[in-house]
Structure 1
Amino acid sequence: MLVTRHFSLTGETFDQKTTAATEGQNPVFRSPDWWPSAPTKFQRIGFCDWLSIYQRHECGGLPKIAGGAFMRIDRDGAVETVTLKKERIEGSHETAVFIRCDGETVWFDGNVSKFGRPDNVFGYTFSQCLQIINGILSRYGLPPFTEGNKFITNFKGEPRSCWTGAIVTRVDITTNFSTGSKENASAYMRHLQNQQASRLKTGTYGDAETVDFGRGSRRLYIKAYTKGPELRRHIKRIEMDSFQKGPVNPFVVHLADWCDSVGLVRVEFTFKATKLHDMGCHYLGGFDMKLLENEFKQRFEVFTRGESAHVDDMTSLPKHLLSTYRMWMAGDDLDSKMSRATFYKHRKALLPFGVDIAIKSNVIQFKPKVRVIQLGPVSIPDWYELPQTEDLKDGTYH
C-alpha cells in the first residue's frame, strides 16, 4: 500500500502580526530571547480535545470544590495530609469534566470539545477551549485561568521567563483525515500498525481500529483510530441500555455513516507535562501553539510513510475465504480439506485477487495487490452542528 498526502497540514502564508491581533495579543515582541518569535495561541492544525490546567491564587478565599477527599492518618490516628478529589461536572450526552479547588488553587481536567455534546468529530481551538473552561469556572464562583505576570528567573545559569498565572499540564491536539472509504480506512490502519515512530513503541488495539505510539510515555503519546467504528460502539452501548439512557440520537447515527463514507481517520497528539515543560509551553503566558504544531508536523511522517510499504490486501476478505487463502499460502493440500464444490467456489472468489488455489503456492511468486491511499483534509459538512462556545459552559447543549 502506498500512502501519500496531497495537501498541506497548514497554509503556506502566515502573518505574525495578524495572528497576534486575532488572539487579542500585542504584536510587539514580548518573549524571552530563547524563543524565536512571540508566543501565540493561534491554532492552525486541527483542534483541541483534552486540556489539563491549574492556577494558584495567593489571595485565597475561593470556594472549596471537591468530590471527596483522601486522608493520610499516622499510627496514632492523627491526620497527616488531606487531598481533595476532583469534582465530576456532568454535562449532557453522558459527558463530564473535572474541577477541584482547595480555596487557593483551581484545577481543571477534561475533554473540552466533547463536553455537553453528542460527539466531538469536530471541536474547538485552544483559545476557544479556554473560553469554555472559564465559563464553567464562573458557574462555581471560581476565577478564570489567566496568563498572569511575567518575570525572569535563572535556570541553570541562563535567564528564563516565568509567569505567575496558570500552568498547563496536558494538551491534546487532534485532526481528521479522509482516506476515501471505509475499506481504505481499514487498509490504512493495517498498514499503520507495521510502522514505528521514533523512540515510541507501537501498539494495536481492537480489530486494528486503533494504532498508537508511545503508550505510557511521560512526554508524548500519539494515537490514530477510525472514527466511524468508535461512534458505533457508543451507539451500541446506548442501545444495550436504552431504558436508562434513552433512544439513540439519529444525528450520531448519521454522523457515523458519514465518517465511514469518507473513511475518516482521527489522529491525536497528547503533549504531557514533561514535554510541555521542555518546550517552555507549560506556562499559559508562554504557551506557544507554533511549537506544538512544529512537533506535530515533524512526527507526522509516520502517517505518510509508505514508499516501500507493500502489504497484501487479502485481510479484507471474508473469514472463510481468508482461511482458505492462508492455508494455500502455507502449502496445505486444499483438495483433502474441502469438498470439490467448495474448492471451486473459493477458487472463483480468489481469482480476482491474483490467487489461483489450483496452483501450488510455491510454484509461482505471489505479488500482492497494492492499494494507494491518499490522506486528505476533512471539511465540516453543512449539516454538522458545532455550537457556539458560550452555549457549552453549562454542559447542557442539545
Structure 2
Amino acid sequence: MTIRCDGTRVRVEGNPSRWQRIDNLFGLQTLDECVAVYNHVLATYDLPPFTKNTRFSHRQSADGKPSSLIGNGAEITLIDWTRNHAVGKGREQSFIRGLSSMQIGRGRKPKLYPDGNTCNWAEGSTWQMDKLYRKAIELKRNLLKSIKKNDEVSPETHRYISDLIEYCETYGVVREEHSLRQTLLKRHNLQFYGCTTENDFYHHLKDIENAMNTIQISHDEHQSIAHQLLAAGAVETLRQANTTMSYFSMWQHGTDLREVMKQSQFYQHKARLKTIGIDIGQKFDVSRMCPTLKRSDVIEVKPLEVPSWYKMPVVAETNILPFRAYA
C-alpha cells in the first residue's frame, strides 16, 4: 500500500482486501469496508480520513473544455472487482481458452497468454480491463514463492497457504477480475465516494458473464493410442503399443494396411485396436471419430464457497504482515 500526501491532498494506492493478509482469495464486499481499511492506516500516521461526498461544485477548466464536478469528499480513481468461479479440477485452462475465443463488450479483443492460464481483454486501456486467470497458479507463482524466501514465516502459515492452493486446485478456481479505470468512472459519475453504491458498478461488470451465457465450453481429455492400448491391456509393453500405433497412423492417413502387412500381422494389430474401439478394417472417417479423445464434458461453472478454515479480512487487524513506510 502506498500513501502520498502533498500537504493538501492525500492519495492511497493499494488493494485493501490484501492489506495485512496472507492472501485475498475472498476479500472485502463493500466500498465502506475498503475505505475503512484505508482510514485505519491513515489514522496510524495522523492523516485525515477519507469522507463521503455531501456537496459538489463546478471546477474551472481550460477554455473550450466543459467544466467538471468536484466534491467535498474522497474520489475514486480506480477500482477492481473480482469473483471466483469453480469450474472443476483440471478444467481451468479449457475454460479460459474457451472464453478467449470471444470478444467482449464493445469489441474488446482477448489476449490469451502462452501458458494458457491467463486471458485479458483491453490490457492497458484507460477505460476498463477485464481478466480471467487460474488462481492456484497465481498463488504458487507469487505467494508460495515469496514465503519460501522468508525464513520468518511460521509453519502454520506454510500449511495454510498449501491448503489454500490445494483448495483452489481441487475446485478448479478461475478468478474473474474487472478493473474500472478513471476515464470510465468519470464518464458515468462513479468517482464520488458516498454518492455511489455497489449496485451502480454492476452494469459494468457483466461482459464476461454475458460471454459465458452465450458459449458452451467443453473439457476434452486426450490420450495417445499407445497409452490407450496399455490401459486396456491389449498389449504387454510400450514397444508393442508403439508398433501398433505406427500402423494406426498409416491407416489414419489412408494406407490400406492389407497391402503392406502380412495377413497374420494385420489381424493381430486389428484385434489390439478393436479393444479401444478402432476398426482398421474400415476406411478411416475423420467426421465420425477422434481416436485420441478419451472424454469430453461440458464445463459447469459454479460460485466458489468459502471454506470454514479460511481467514476472512478484518479491518483493524494489523499483526499479520509488517508495514514499512518509505520517505
| TM-score, structure 1 normalization | 0.60
RMSD, aligned α-carbons: 4.1
After superposition, give the CA deviation of every residue in 1:15-72 in whole Å (9 maximum; x if it has no partner). xxxxxxxxxxxxxxxxxxxxxxxxxxxxxxxxxxxxxxxxxxxxxxxxxxxxxxxxxx
1: CA distance, partners of 2:125 / 2:306? 32
2: CA distance, partners of 1:119 / 1:232? 12
Extract unaligned runs of 5+ from structure 1: 1-96
Given candidates 278, 297, 301, the residue that maps to 2:187 is: 278
2: CA distance, partners of 1:357 / 1:194? 35
Closer/same/farther in 2, CA of residues 363 and 163 from structure 1, 3 Å limit: closer
Q: CA deviation at 1:158?
A: 10
Closer/same/farther in 2, CA of residues 192 and 219 from structure 1, 3 Å limit: same
After superposition, give the CA deviation of every residue in 1:299-330 in whole Å (9 maximum; x if it has no partner). 521233314x6x6725x658x97xx99x969x
2: CA distance, partners of 1:209 / 1:146? 39
State the SS of the aligned residue for 2:142: helix
1:377 aligns with 2:281: no
Query: In the alignment, which residue of structure 2 is the partner of 1:47?
Result: none
In the TM superposition, structure 1's runs of 4+ consecutive aligned residues that sit over 3 Å from their partners are: 152-162, 238-248, 331-336, 347-351, 354-370, 392-397
Letter in 2 for 1:381: P
Given candidates 101, 104, 123, the residue that maps to 1:194 is: 101
1:113 aligns with 2:113: no
Letter in 2 for 1:305: T
Q: CA deviation at 1:349?
A: 12
Letter in 1 for 2:96: M
Closer/same/farther in 2, CA of residues 102 and 388 from structure 1, 3 Å limit: same
Letter in 2 for 1:182: K
Closer/same/farther in 2, CA of residues 366 and 281 from structure 1, 3 Å limit: same
Q: CA deviation at 1:111?
A: 1.4
1:261 aligns with 2:170: yes
Query: In the alignment, which residue of structure 1 is the partner of 2:316?
Result: 390
Given candidates 95, 99, 103, the residue that maps to 2:7 is: 103
Given candidates 130, 141, 153, the residue that maps to 2:46 is: 141
2: CA distance, partners of 1:265 / 1:225? 6
State the SS of the aligned residue for 1:223: strand
State the SS of the aligned residue for 1:177: strand
Identical aligned pairs, as a percentage? Answer: 26
Letter in 2 for 1:127: D
Aligned length: 286
2: CA distance, partners of 1:313 / 1:162? 54
Q: How is 1:169-318 mapped onto 2 (pairs within 5 angstroms)?
A: 169-179=77-87, 181-198=88-105, 199-234=107-142, 237-238=145-146, 241=149, 249-307=158-216, 313-314=220-221, 317=223
Extract unaligned runs of 5+ from structure 2: 228-244
Closer/same/farther in 2, CA of residues 105 and 186 from structure 1, 3 Å limit: same
Closer/same/farther in 2, CA of residues 395 and 366 from structure 1, 3 Å limit: same
State the SS of the aligned residue for 2:178: strand
Q: CA deviation at 1:241?
A: 3.2
Contact 2:58 2:67 in 1 (8 A): yes
After superposition, give the CA deviation of every residue in 1:174-208 in whole Å (9 maximum; x if it has no partner). 111111x2222232122122122132120112521
Q: Which moved more, 1:360-369 or 1:188-197?
A: 360-369
State the SS of the aligned residue for 2:78: strand
Query: In the alignment, which residue of structure 2 is the partner of 1:132?
Result: 37
Q: Which has the larger radius of gyration?
A: 2
1: CA distance, partners of 2:278 / 2:42? 62
Letter in 2 for 1:150: R
Structure richer in strand, relative to its length = 1
Structure richer in helix, relative to its length = 2
Closer/same/farther in 2, CA of residues 137 and 239 from structure 1, 3 Å limit: closer
Closer/same/farther in 2, CA of residues 265 and 147 from structure 1, 3 Å limit: same
